Amino acid sequence: MSSRPIYLDCHATTPVDERVLAAMLPFFTEHFGNPSSISHVYGWEAEAAVKQTREILAAAINATPEEIIFTSGATEANNLAIKGVAEAYFQKGQHIITVVTEHSAVLDPCKYLKTLGFEMTFLSVQKDGLIDLTELEKAFRPDTILVSVMAANNEIGVLQPLAEIGAMCRERNVLFHSDAAQAIGKIPLDVQALKIDLMSLTAHKVYGPKGIGALYVRRRNPRVQLAPQQHGGGHERGMRSGTLYTPQIVGFGKAVEIALQEQATETERLTQLRQRLWEQLSQLKGIHLNGHPTQRLPGNLNISVEGVDGSALLLGLQSVMAVSSGSACSSATTAPSHVLTALGHSEALAYASIRFGIGRFNTAEEIDKVAQHTIATIQSLRKQGSFAMHNR
């Protein structure tokens, strides 16, 4: 029986935890009611389950259950936050600030708004992937209505200084949105302490099902106005119409509940595995660590490799491990990662990059096997490259 590659692409998605699946299954068959049908027991059961997940998600980020709006995922949540604020506040201002290393689910809505007359400031990042707070301070204008900065980068795992950004936004009465798709359940999040007004979440990065996410929308101090982007039925306080997908919502709640219970021990374990992998890979010359060395997600390691072809590198690794060179949402494109080029890498070095996403079910033995195969592959490709150059 052939063995499957070791899965190390947990920033793209994660397997559904068996405990999450067990919680979801009854809501496909036994408790199948529509949570909006509140005139009978089937609807009451579904409504109670949805309410419980709202409470779990709210507690996870120090919000209230009424501030949790369910969506189909973080992409929809980002679109609802950015376009919804733009439409609701356009008379106040038409300037939005974001970062060049954001996910395309933030960058593309911003680019779309530019076609409607909105003005964008795309902040650069420093070599470690962090924004320069002085640059942010200079970017604010009297007509700035929104700042959108992700909590944890999906490629290089960098954790942006959310508390400082939130304080600067609140001081200027500017709304602050954060895409926390990669952060929920992995690092502590507190929308009150961080002064975040809108936060995008998703389940499938934290061992929950695909197809379900949420947007936190602040209700007071300040109360955030949001123009709905999907109409029909007035669900979710009128912000996002559509029948709620109860089994997915239940799975989302269970996934976050488990992640929070295990966060402290899992953070320590993943950090150790990441360091174990880096210590072995860094013995080779010409290996660059992408992103801040410590201010990053526990399970993220992103490297660029000198002297190899990027396509040949991934091809050489795929028999042993499932990894990627960048965002799963842009893996079909031929352009180098916009995140890595923003760090100052050449296109060739950006292409020759590996994103290791270490997760809940990875072991130290797997990490050692991955390290050994990666080192052997890099050495082999470099040898082939030198031989080809020598025989030209």
Q: Give the catalytic positions in this structure.
A: 329
What are the residue ranges of helices labelled H in 151-233?
Answer: 162-171
From residue 263, alpha-carbon distances to 152, 205, 268 in Å are 16, 14, 9
| Cis peptide bond upstream of 336, omega within 30 | no
Give the residue from 370, 375, 354, 366 showing the smallest Cα distance to 155. Answer: 354
Instruction: Judge whether 169 and 175 are in contact, CB under 8 Å.
Output: yes
Which residues 6+ apart lie within 8 Å of 389 measured at CB?
Answer: none
Instruction: Judge whether 149 and 107 are in contact, CB under 8 Å.
Output: no
Give the residue from 376, 385, 386, 279 showing the smallest Cα distance to 321. Answer: 376
3-class secondary-structure state, position 45: helix
Q: For residue 144, list its beta bridge partners.
A: 95
Sign of CA dihedral 381, 387, 390, 392: negative
Give the residue from 270, 264, 288 showing the smallest Cα distance to 340. Answer: 288
Which residues 6+ apart lie within 8 Å of 190 measured at CB?
Answer: 61, 62
Beta strand residue intervals within the chain, DSSP E: 6-7, 68-71, 95-99, 119-123, 144-148, 175-179, 198-202, 213-217, 287-289, 300-305, 321-322, 353-357
Instruction: Judge whether 109 and 87 are in contact, CB under 8 Å.
Output: no
- Quick one: 39 exposed, middle or buried, by C-beta within 10 A (0-12, 13-18, 19+)? exposed
Taking residue 11's Cβ as centre, other Cβ atoms within 10 Å add up to 28
Report d(CA 77, CA 213) in Å as an integer: 7
